[in-house]
Amino acid sequence: MASVLMYTTQACPYCQMATRLLEQKGVAVEKVRVDTEPARRQEMIQRAHGAKTVPQIFIGDRHVGGYRELAQLEARGELNRLLGL
């Protein structure tokens, strides 16, 4: 199973929806809270090619994007393959 890293904040509804989708698949999500670790926000922006919104989701080394992109992968039937399920 691929590792999943999500840059998030506590109050982000899209972060919560992404977490629920991934947890329903049995995937553990490593979360980096950029609201409580502001120094990590710059790391997120660099890794996400300039994206400043949360969530920013990485599956393995691949930058997926945010919740919308994650949901699109699921709708196309590609998310399980990416996760190694």
How many domains does the chain fold into?
Answer: 1
Q: How far apart are the first and last CA of the chain?
A: 6
Confidence of residue 14 (pLDDT cuts 50, 70, 90): very high
Q: What is the pLDDT of residues 22-73, one digit of tens each?
A: 999 999 999 999 999 999 999 999 999 999 999 999 999 999 999 999 999 9
Supply the CATH number for residue 58's domain.
3.40.30.10
Output the pLDDT for position 1. 81
| Cβ atoms 58, 6 nearer than 8 A | yes
Which residues is 57 bridged to in the sheet?
A: 6, 65
Helix (H) or strand (E) run with residue 39 in it: helix 39-47
Q: Which domain holds residue 40?
A: 4-83
Which residues is 22 bridged to in the sheet?
A: none
Q: Where are the beta strands (DSSP E) in the chain?
A: 4-8, 29-33, 56-59, 62-65
* One-letter amino acid for residue 71 of the chain: A
